[in-house]
Structure 1
Amino acid sequence: MNNIELYDFAIGLLAKRDYPSGELRRRLKREASNEESVEGVMERLLSHHYVDDHRLIERELNKQINKGYGPNRIKQELRQKGLDSLLVEQVIEDLDVDWFELCLKVKEKKFADDAPQDAKEKAKVVRYLQYRGHSMNVIMDVLNG
């Protein structure tokens, strides 16, 4: 594929959904005849803001927070999508989210307002909240508070 065909292929992919730059670069490398054309196309897409990892991270973050996921789960999900770990960390730190309130809301939705009665029930709540990506210190604050 030449540069024009590769660029058209990339635009076709981006017309269907947003791709992280890493994933799009891998897809283009499969189609391209050389590395230089992939880098040229990626540079052009980035300069026109057709590929914007920061925007994609923010949209995914809002979606994951609305699902009640904590920062650990969100980071894992975004890494699996091929997004840069440092950029993800930076955006999460800049985000104004009360992780305690989010964890408390998730706990109350699943287990009502009742405090766990015994160790087995408490372990069940802790496992569930950890699976949802909340940190242990926030979970303990929710259970003790």
Structure 2
Amino acid sequence: MRLLARREHGAHELAYKLMQKGYADSEIKDVISECQRLGFQNDQRFAESVCRARIQQGYGPLRIQQELRSLRVEEALVNTVLQQEQDHWLDHAIAVKEKKYKKQDELTFVQVQKQKQFLLYRGFSADIIAMIFRE
């Protein structure tokens, strides 16, 4: 319960932490299903929480998708959470770019490539990046 009081945890993450503390597999499954039944643990809420936090940190959909996969969130849930932000990815990418690089009238080829690489590293797709630099 203390683990869930601090922040959201995914079911797999919670199981791993309980396993590290020495609990048996049957106990872990029972605890997780009881927490889910009572509403203390919810993978949907966990995925949304991770997504919101990473967006605020300036990360794009590809990077967030990879992190959620590494946290073993179900693929359907990952797609649902990212789809909720679908209309805002361009705005997020522009905000990240403008925060890192101040607005300039003329950019050299090298500067444009550097900015594109930065956005790719942050997890924005090539389509979104292309839209930014067309404007």
TM-score, length basis structure 2: 0.84
Choose from 48, 52, 56 the match for 2:46.
56
Amino acid at match of 1:85: E
Q: What is the aligned counterpart of 2:5 among 10, 15, 24? A: 15
Q: d(CA) in 1 for partners of 2:94 and 2:37?
A: 42
Answer with 47-56 or 66-75: which moved more.
66-75
Amino acid at match of 1:138: I
Equivalent residue for 1:110, pick from 100, 103, 107: 100
CA offsets per residue over residues 67-116 of structure 1, 9 Å max, x none?
22211111122233343333111111133542112212222222222266
Once residues 53 and 6 of structure 2 are traced to their aligned partners in structure 1, the CA distance between those partners, rounded to angstroms, is 19
Q: Give the unaligned 5+ runs of structure 2.
A: none
Between the aligned partners of 1:63 and 1:131, the Cα distance in structure 2 is 17
- State how far apart, in whole Å, the 2-side matches of 1:29 and 1:69 are: 31
Aligned residues: CA RMSD: 2.0
Identity of aligned residues (%): 28
Greater Cα offset, 125-134 or 57-66: 57-66
Write out the 4+ residue segments of structure 1 that deviate beyond 4 Å after TM superposition.
none
Q: What are the ranges of 5 or more consecutive residues in structure 1 without an aligned counterpart?
A: 1-10
Q: In 2 relative to 1, CA 17–102 (structure 1 residues): closer, same or farther, beyond 3 Å?
A: closer
